[in-house]
Amino acid sequence: MIEFPDPKLADDDGLIAQGGELTPEFLLSAYCQGIYPWFCEGEPILWWSPNPRMVLFPEKFKLRKSLKQVINRNTFELKIDTAFEEVIKHCSRIPRADQNETWITNDIIEGYVKLHQLGYAHSFESYFEGELVGGLYGISLGNCFFGESMFFTKTDASKVAFYHLVQFAMKHNFAFIDAQQETGHLKNLGAEIIPRTDFLEMLEKALQKDTLQGKWTGLL
């Protein structure tokens, strides 16, 4: 494992290191230490561990009435790990508020696709009439899931994908889903912010569990 600086020494913004690579070894080492990459094209690779941290405990997920109606209507078909590269590329193209450029660079895409091929990165995908219209991707280590990004081209498609991630997490006894930074959208779905020290303690326990490595297609 590649040793990063102690995340507890970072300020609340969470910048802990710069440089390095986006190889599977670097990425897996970072996630195991509560750190993730976030930077824009042309910048050096920046590594972060913010304080506080937003997480969702699967059992605390809030299924809103409107989303429940969408799910009950079976508007979308859900698949797992059948279009990972498509999902991450869609996420890279979605405009973000207050961001002029994507942080999902070509190097990020290449690095995470390699993690997917190794069975550590996963995608949850929503289809409508055979077309990919929403989804999310992230990393799984131990019994936790690190959510990275989501997209939709049809209303509620990403929310349905997230709902199925939560159902998957409960079925397979995941301790938490890491959402990294606070967003109103995820807070509305039951996510909460916790101190970085608490997050790192939870992560240490989660990593003692076996990783559900490999394709998750058919496991929901």
pLDDT of 72-124, one tens digit each?
A: 999 999 999 999 999 999 999 876 555 555 689 999 999 999 999 999 999 99
Q: Residue 17 and residue 39: Cα distance in Å, rounded?
A: 12
Q: Which DSSP string corresponds to 54-92? A: EEE-GGG----HHHHHHHHTT-SEEEESSSHHHHHHHHH
Pick the CATH number of 53-206 from 2.40.30.10, 3.30.830.10, 3.40.630.70, 3.30.1130.10: 3.40.630.70
pLDDT of 150-159, one tens digit each?
A: 999 999 999 9
pLDDT of 14-57, one tens digit each?
A: 999 999 999 999 999 999 999 999 998 888 999 999 999 999 99
CATH architecture, domain 7-48: 2-Layer Sandwich (3.30)
Per-domain boundaries in the chain? 7-48, 53-206
